[in-house]
Amino acid sequence: MMEIEILRSGFDFLGIYGFFDGFMPDNLDWLVFLITSVILAMVIINALVISTALLTWFERRMLGRFQSRLGPNRWGPFGLLQPIADLVKLLTKEDTIPEGADKPVFTLAPIVFLVPALIVFAVIPLHGSSFLGRLNIGLIFVIAITSVNTLAIFMAGWSSLNKYAMFGAMRAVAMLVSYEIPMGISVVGVAIAAQTLGLSNVVLAQDIPFILVMPLGFLVFITAASAEMSRTPFDLIESDSELGAGYHTEYSGAKFALLQLTEFMAPVIVAALVTTLFLSGWRGYGPIPGPVWFIIKTFVVLFGFVWIRASWPRLRVDQIMSLAWKGLLPLSIVNLFVIAVEVFIFNPGEAGLSTRDLLIMTGINWSITIIALIVIFNVMGQSKLKRPEPVALPLANMYANTTVSKKATDLAEAD
Amino acid sequence: MYGLGLAKGLVVTAKNLVLPSRMMTIQYPDRKVGLLGLSKATDTSLVDLIRKDPVNVFKALLGIADVKTSLPQHPRFRGEEFNWYEQRCTGCASCAKYCPLGIIEIVTSESGDQMQEGQKYHLDKFDIDIGRCMFCGLCVEACPYDALHMGSGFEEGKYRRQDLVIDKRQLVSAKKKPSTWFRPQLSNKNYDPHKGKNVKWDSAGRHEKPSLQQQQDKWAKR
């Protein structure tokens, strides 16, 4: 309960700054600034790393249950200390750098990978305001910062001097850049409906959660986001059956630990983002405080990610690219168009959309979502593909003078 | 079409999550239990458990108490350690003669000056090298007095090869839980070595060994 009280009384940059500024002399403003930053960095890093460690345990346990086995259960109660054991194991391994690798880039890549993930969490509002206060360009900030991980993956793959790492990195660049477009467009829909770019204000605008108001946008966002963090069914960046381990094939020891940490941190951040944008953030019902609502909603989204990972197989490269460009991009544009027209008609002005407007939008958007999905499935569906009849080889004289061979020779002549 | 196949896949995994009957893992050699599981596994009530074993109770509250488990085996499973009844064995060395690998070594000596029928050799040595044994069970089939049985266990991992030679002392002191392989007198009684009690020497055979008096009577009547 203590933390929640602190959050309510403004546990953000301005709050802490004001607290220390109250009893420090005026000429020590730089020290106040430094103390505040260090405190915030400590809180964010610890919160994220601990929740990521818990997520790795949760994911492995749940994956086990989904696959009729137990998952880690030996070390600590229910295997809860497993992340610590993994960490100790990784940190005691030798930190190798391959001969001929680009050493500065190789060393820098895990850090470039990790830092954006931490920074994004600083602007996500847990209750009222985020750790950095009410940032009024939160949406743009998030989209801009998360796109850096493409660079980090490419740095890791390129500098490793390894074919598999290079393949993984090239696939990563192709895929991540493609999926950023539908993701960005679906986020624009949220921004238009909420009439703001600040994440706290997006939550405040959600009298009805946006998952109901714009289901199409939610579907596009969650698909594109799970591709952005390269999880199943979009994990071809590090597809272990094809590429060894993808871009982190050559990494070991502490650097590998950092890469894995960031990879498991991505679901936490995406789930928090989905909660903020579509599930009305900290807002809830009853006496349960806001941050608890936020954590519950995030947890539900994480469970969905784990469930999907346990169930669905990986898509092929061409399938992934065609899904992004032929499937998600039209859907996100339809979503954006419909939302924009509706907001233009309702013309909410300064006050934002009222609950009545949101209800009408919900009705319209659900029907449009179903129609759009049916159209897309009909256009992209595999059952529409005509597969050619298999034809015996003309050289195969096993069926000489039978109808099969005649058909084959006819076809060969026709060509 | 329309993503129904994806939904089907989700339902399959959700069934795995919900239905406990789909869990395949058998934990071995031990499993972690909570407090209720500990009292059930040790077959004691909670109050007794708290009074007798507070350390384990504390561990069980944390969920890190261990309970030994065993893998389910058939009663006719031919286990590694042999079951041998000194009282039944006459030192005839049939087992050693029948062994295709020659891994049973028996050294006997006369147990007295005036040997009579019914008396037996003194066994100086009875070594079975289970490191080379292939568990064909011919020695057990050959034993005329049902003194040698297949064992029922399999946890005989050792660090050195010579530790795998079972000598007479080990055979005598081992738990008497014979496998029912080639022993109808045990399997007819639905004996299960993994659940049942130790089998005593006088109930392990097809027939009882006649006493010295009975043997002498038999010869006298002829």
CB proximity A63 to B under 8 Å: no
SS3 category, A217: helix
Interface of A with B in 261-320 (CB under 8 A): 307-308, 310-312
- β-pair type (B104-109, B148-151): unpaired
Q: In chain A, which residues have their Cβ closer than 8 Å to the Cβ of B64? A: 76-77
Instruction: Write down the mean pLDDT value for chain B.
Output: 86
Helix, strand, coil % over all residues of chain A, rounded to 5: 70, 0, 25
**DSSP state for residue B107 in the 8-state scheme:** E
pLDDT over threshold 90, residue B99: yes
Q: Which two tokens stand for residue B50?
A: 């708290």
Partner-chain residue, chosen from B13, B22, B24, that has the shortest CB–CB distance to A307: B13
ipTM (interface predicted TM)? 0.76
Contact A310 B64 (CB under 8 A): no
pLDDT over threshold 50, residue B135: yes
**What pLDDT, on the 0 to 100 scale, is given for residue B27?**
84
**What pLDDT, on the 0 to 100 scale, is given for residue B1?**
62
**What pLDDT, on the 0 to 100 scale, is given for residue A397?**
58
Each residue's pLDDT tens digit, B26-44:
888 888 888 888 888 888 8
List chain A residues with pLDDT less than 70.
1-11, 381-387, 392-415
Question: What is the sign of the dihedral through the CA atoms of B76, B81, B87 and B93?
Answer: positive
Partner-chain residue, chosen from A65, A76, A308, that has the shortest CB–CB distance to B17: A65
Instruction: Tell the burial category of A204 from Cβ atoms under 10 Å away from its Cβ (0-12, 13-18, 19+).
Output: middle
Partner-chain residue, chosen from B9, B24, B63, that has the shortest CB–CB distance to A68: B24
**What pLDDT, on the 0 to 100 scale, is given for residue B141?**
92
CB proximity A78 to B under 8 Å: yes
Contact yes or no for B150/B140 (Cβ under 8 A): yes
CB proximity A375 to B under 8 Å: no
B155 Cα to chain A: minimum distance (Å): 21
